[in-house]
Homo-oligomer: A and B are copies of this chain.
Amino acid sequence: MAEMTLIEAVRETLRGEMRRDPDIFMMGEDIGPRGGVFLASEGFVEEFGAERVMNTPLAESSIIGIALGAAVNGMRPVAEIQFADFVWPAINQLVGEAARVRYGTNGGKIAPMTVRVPYGGGVRGGLYHSQSIEVLFAHTPGLQVIAPATPWDARGLLRSAIRSNDPTVFLEHKRTYRLVRGEAPDEEYTEPIGKADVKRAGKDISLIAYGLMLHYSLQAAEIVSQSDGIETEVVDLRTLRPIDSETILDSVSRTGRALIVQEDTGAVSVSSEVSAIIASEGFFDLDAPVMRVTPPEIPPMPFSPLQEAEYMPSPDKIAAAIRRLAEV
């Protein structure tokens, strides 16, 4: 089976989908001859031409607005926002417009479009190349939001996103691009949007995470397993909208303890919603408070290395939280 990095999984999936369906085209800044700043489209303009791998002007609102217009007129655009921190100018077209097209036209028009957004920190990106931007998207009816953590899921879920008939935000954690390797076969397979995945089985604590934090959480689970014999079940959320309550609640029903780990700041976030789901629907299964590991409430995240490291949840910090929760 094919072992590859997460960025390779993204690139090979895009290549395969572009070959499969001529209605798919890509647009974004520097995705042409440059191949994208993360090389997600390296070599694409040579294979597919400048029209299907379109360099755009430096104007995010129009990147999404134009993708939306093309989507309602029969195309399947895959737009790239170069860094998540620069998605803000496009919020109006994405959250205000695209998300409401199917509903607001009573099904008269649909917007089958995918917006790829490299996000996340731990890359010395400072305040404007490290942001997590999932909250508003995960809140918005009419959007699907995906945040894979492994090459396998990136491949299976990006296929599902591109083939879906609704606007989908596909979040790729920059730190995982080259850090994470794994199997992601060329075979045609898809992973379902809206389904979480138990990445590690355990009886003592349910840990819910996504993106880079999924990997740090798995490391933490190993640490506490060795050091304290605590067996942590690690649930990979994978999709942030809709959130898979069923898988979360099933896990908590077996462990009685829930810990949510998130790189984004905690207040009014995805981790809040997971807590709320457990506190309402899983309450009688709980033996302890629903706990969270999130960064301090400061703008993500400082450029200087020590402060950046302090900001990011780490395997050790997560392990410590697991131990605290196990003792409650």
- Residues of the B chain whose Cβ atoms lie less than 8 Å from the Cβ of A272: 268, 272-273, 275-276
Which residues from 141 to 156 on chain A have a C-beta closer than 8 Å to any C-beta of chain B? 141-142
B267 touches A299 (CB 8 A): no
B141 touches A297 (CB 8 A): yes
Within the complex, the shortest CB–CB distance from A239 to chain B, in Å, comes to 12
**Interface pick from A28-36, A74-82, A287-295:** A287-295
- Residues of the B chain whose Cβ atoms lie less than 8 Å from the Cβ of A136: 135-136, 139
**Interface pick from A86-94, A114-122, A200-208:** A86-94
A279 at the interface (CB under 8 A from B): yes
A-B pairs with beta carbons under 8 Å apart, 26 shown: A100-B127, A103-B127, A103-B299, A104-B127, A135-B135, A135-B136, A139-B265, A139-B268, A141-B297, A241-B268, A243-B267, A266-B276, A268-B268, A271-B276, A272-B272, A272-B273, A272-B276, A275-B275, A275-B276, A275-B279, A278-B279, A279-B279, A280-B289, A280-B290, A280-B291, A283-B289
Closest 6 CB pairs of A and B: A275-B276, A279-B279, A88-B92, A283-B289, A272-B272, A139-B268
A224 at the interface (CB under 8 A from B): no
A279 touches B290 (CB 8 A): yes
A127 to B95, CA, bound (A): 12
- Residues of the B chain whose Cβ atoms lie less than 8 Å from the Cβ of A95: 88
A85 at the interface (CB under 8 A from B): yes
User: What 0/1 pattern do residues 250 to 287 of A give for CB contact below 8 A with B?
Assistant: 00000000000000011111111101101111011010
